[in-house]
Amino acid sequence: MVKLQPFANAEEVCDRINNTLYGVHAWPSKKLASSTIRKILSTSGIALSTGTLIAFALIAGFFIIGLTMYSSALDRLKDYGTLKAIGAGNRYISRLILTQALLFAVVGFIIGYLLLEGFRMGVAKSGLIFSFSPLVLFSMFLTIALISIGGASFALGRIKNVEPAAVFR
């Protein structure tokens, strides 16, 4: 750690230290931070394991959320038929199901975010400190919303074909 004098160029000071002191290497703080991150990501396997975890979470999330939304909509097939029988159109029912899917996505994101924050605080005690940028959080929410809306969309095709008279049979 070197404290620079005002108006001193960090690159020049690092070069002078590197050229004059044997066995000592100096880096500007930003270069040291980025090289440390690259070194940890490339040698520790944390990037691969985190990436694999994310891929499995997306696959599992798609099937769990998608199938839950699909079966939830199909379980209420008679209810949607009744709504059609009293005058609700496909557009109204589609909005109802997609609103439910979006609500599930919001609740799921909040629960997931709270679990993630718990994990982040837990590993911070061991010295690993990280944070999530707003862009990463937005991407996570968007992914969850797309999975949830995608699962609901599969059911919409089946619900649109429901005949209102079929409910009364």
Structure tokens at 89: 């159109």
Mean pLDDT within 18-39: 83
For the residues of 80-140, what is the DSSP string, one character each? HHHHHHTT--HHHHHHHHHHHHHHHHHHHHHHHHHHHHHHHHHHHTTT------HHHHHHH
User: What is the per-residue pLDDT across 60-95, written as a single tens digit (0 to 9) for each?
Assistant: 877 887 788 778 777 888 888 888 888 888 899 889
Grouping H, G, I as helix, E, B as strand and the rest as coil, residue 48 is helix
Residue 155 burial (CB count, 10 A)? 22
Residue 98 has pLDDT above 70, yes or no: yes
Domain parsing of the chain, residue ranges: 1-44, 45-168
Quick: pLDDT tens for 29-64.
788 888 887 887 778 777 788 778 888 887 887 788
Q: How far apart are CA 82 and CA 76, in angstroms?
A: 10
Q: Distance between CA atoms of 160 and 142, rounded to whole angstroms?
A: 26
106-151 pLDDT, tens digit each: 998 899 889 888 888 888 887 777 788 899 889 989 988 888 888 8
pLDDT for res 167? 65
